[in-house]
Amino acid sequence: MKVCDWTSRPCCLAILYLLVTHLTTEGEILPPTIQRLMKGYNKYLRPFFDNGPVTVGMSLDIASIDTISEINMDYTATIFLRQRWTDERLVFEGNKSLSLDGRLVELLWVPDTFIVDSKKSFLHDITVENRLIRIFPNGTVLYALRITTTVACNMDLTKYPMDKQTCTLQLESWGYNINDVMFYWTRGNESVSGLDSLQLAQYTVEDYYTSVSEAIYETGHYPRLVFHFELKRSILYFILETYVPSSLLVVLSWVSFWISLSSVPARICIGVTTVLTMTTLMMGARTSLPNANCFIKAIDVYLGICFSFIFGALIEYAVAHFCTLTHGETHVLMYGHQMHDFDDEINGIVTTISTHSRAKRRKEPAAAPAPAPASTELTVSPSSPSGSEPKPEAAPPEPTNWCLTVLATLRKILRSISCCHVENPHHIDNYSRVTFPLSFVMVNLLYWTYYLYF
């Protein structure tokens, strides 16, 4: 027979294991109360197996909410989950509860509670598994766990960053339906604690409440407890990070309205620089959100408004500069038209004077002979050219003047409706100095009113 060497470590561990097994079998490790409770106890059968469902009360203590991700649409929280139920098989005499080691939970029946919509969860095990088991004399069992879980939360980001998100933490039985297990909150809305003193980076907890419902699946109806909490995003960070810089860029683009139209490099430099800076700001604002997100967010709308005003300021200079170039040519052309009209008027006057001169010369020879009788004058006057010419000369100027009036009126109408003609291109900058700021203020009032109060 081979003798065990006491100096060898494996031999000592084997002997220690046999000793612990022997003492446990003889009942010398467990206290007498626990021995009586465990005698004939079957952890695979729920309490009140033949006498209706077992009721399980729950309460939560939110230790922390570590992260809230808009990209993954989830949040990570560390919670203390406490469950209470009554097991008639664990009733014992006395007035003190029994606090047991968490590892003894393997000997008892516990509810098969799981967290709905959980992406990943783990039970803390430093320095030992963070479990608490306590048995009261009336058979009530308190079972507490420390869990860190990442839970999905559907978010509506249409009002981002002025949004409010309602997330839930749902507890449900995995295998026992409502005929076997019933869940309830131990103290209603006060069953959840820890949120009042919680400090979050971007959010504040506005409201929270609890509810009880049933989950309906193909295999039956299962008990479910739901904890709702409403988160409101703090907008101050986004005002300093995005809204103020974008608004200042819009104001910077208006500086070009006070720069002379002849300073082409200065105005082009301001316009292009502000457009590129605004583009960079828009790209940076989207980095914290998913690229495939189909939401048109409030911050996207505001950045789009600012970009439109900046781009409009650049286009305004292009229009004003184009009108400046065409204004000189138009002025020369109008001056040529005026000189042509003046020449036509001079020619008309000369023609009229020459016509009257010829008429006078024709009258003088007719008036030279001696005066004739009245009958002769009546006979000669119809046939004499001097008596017939003055009458037709007075009629033609009337239609001519009428045509000139119509042409002048048409010319004024064409000038008034012409889009390309500007009397003074510098007026475009003068109007822009007023219209751009007023329009931006009005759009801001509409924007903030809609997203804050509707």
Inside any domain, residue 326:
no
Inside any domain, residue 122:
yes
How far apart CA 56 and CA 85 sit, in angstroms, is 5
Inside any domain, residue 212:
yes
Place of tokens 């039956």: 220
Tokens, residue 393: 């000369």
Inside any domain, residue 427:
no
Q: Are 123 and 143 in contact (CB under 8 A)?
A: no
Inside any domain, residue 163:
yes
Element (H, E) at 316: helix 298-367
Q: Are 195 and 229 in contact (CB under 8 A)?
A: yes
Residue 53 structural domain? 32-233
**Rounded CA Rg of the chain:** 49
Inside any domain, residue 125:
yes
pLDDT value at residue 239: 95
- 300-318: average pLDDT: 95
Inside any domain, residue 174:
yes
Hey, how many other C-beta atoms are within 10 angstroms of the C-beta on 173?
21
Q: What is the number of residues in the chain?
A: 454
**How many independent structural domains does the chain possess?**
1
Tell me if the pTM is above 0.85: no
pLDDT value at residue 421: 55
pLDDT value at residue 383: 43
* Per-residue pLDDT tens digits for 4-63: 454 454 454 444 444 344 434 444 456 777 788 888 899 999 999 888 899 999 999 999
Is a pLDDT exceeding 50 seen at residue 428? yes
Inside any domain, residue 72:
yes
* Per-residue pLDDT tens digits for 344-398: 555 555 555 555 555 555 555 544 444 444 443 434 344 444 444 444 444 455 5
Domain CATH for 68: 2.70.170.10
